[in-house]
Structure 1
């Protein structure tokens, strides 16, 4: 097997970009009625993200 053939075979194992590899069912499904009881809400989106301050050079 040549290196190009190996890469061609390996590339078929890589999923396409943004392809969901995990499918959720039950309470973790996106449309579950009781999902809010078991899934933590993300932080408030209106809060600005923290930026790492550069150390001061003195």
Structure 2
């Protein structure tokens, strides 16, 4: 067992199994939300395009 402290991270797994892992040591809460929302919107757009064509 190690006494080493790990860096704080947030990992989000989306329905389509895409994952986003953020090193939150230097990010603000607003930056984390912005990154999560950005990927969510991109994945939704990709899904919408795939379903329409």
Same-fold call, TM > 0.5?
A: no
> Which structure has the higher relative contact order (CA within 8 Å, separation 6+)?
2
Instruction: Tell me the TM-score normalized by structure 1.
Output: 0.28
Name the structure with the higher helix share: 2
Q: Could you say which structure has the larger radius of gyration?
A: 1
Name the structure with the higher strand share: 2
